[in-house]
Amino acid sequence: MQRLILVAMLLAIKFHDDHFFSNQYYAAVGGVSLVELNQMETEMLGMLQFRLFVSPGLFYQYVANIERSLSDVTAEEAASPNKDKDTCCASSGTVGSIKTSPSLASQTDEMMA
């Protein structure tokens, strides 16, 4: 999972910023070799067919799906609070605080305005 996040962040940074650190720097920070990071970057770009732009409509669709999933997890935990707390981040309060905060879509609207 760490490698997936690393390469996703690398591509996002390169897509959005004109000035960024070298892959050697990101490899050192991510704890992987430069060769491995370069391979992961190339492979992920190929999987994405070099399409890094996400339309606002698709973005909001994913936001809605995530929010729906979080509310389902929170509802399940409320129904059975003693059920296997190690299997979800809800025991730390993370899910609950996300659910009670303003929706991600409205936060994004505010940032884009």
Residues 69 and 99 in one domain: yes
pLDDT at res. 77: 74
Residues 99 and 74 in one domain: yes
Residue type (1 letter), 56:
P
Residues 93 and 67 in one domain: yes
DSSP one-letter code for 95: H
pLDDT at res. 91: 40
* Cβ atoms of residues 36 and 12 within 8 Å: no
The predicted-structure confidence for 4-53, as pLDDT tens digits, reads as follows 999 999 999 999 888 889 999 999 999 999 999 999 999 999 999 999 99
76 pLDDT more than 80 = no
Residues 29 and 6 in one domain: yes
For residues 77-105, average pLDDT: 49
What does the alpha-carbon distance between residue 25 and residue 9 come to, in Å, rounded to a whole number?
A: 13
Number of separate domains in the chain: 2
Residues 60 and 99 in one domain: yes
For residues 84, 90, 96 and 99, what is the CA-based torsion angle, rounded to 10 degrees? -100
**Structure confidence at residue 84 as a pLDDT band (50, 70, 90):** low
Residues 62 and 105 in one domain: yes
Residues 38 and 75 in one domain: no
Residues 34 and 65 in one domain: no
pTM: 0.53
Residues 42 and 65 in one domain: no
Query: How much is the CA Rg of the chain, to the nearest whole Å?
Result: 18
What does the alpha-carbon distance between residue 66 and residue 68 come to, in Å, rounded to a whole number?
A: 5
Residues 80 and 39 in one domain: no
Residues 40 and 77 in one domain: no
Q: Which two tokens stand for residue 52?
A: 């890094």
**Residue 41: domain span:** 2-47
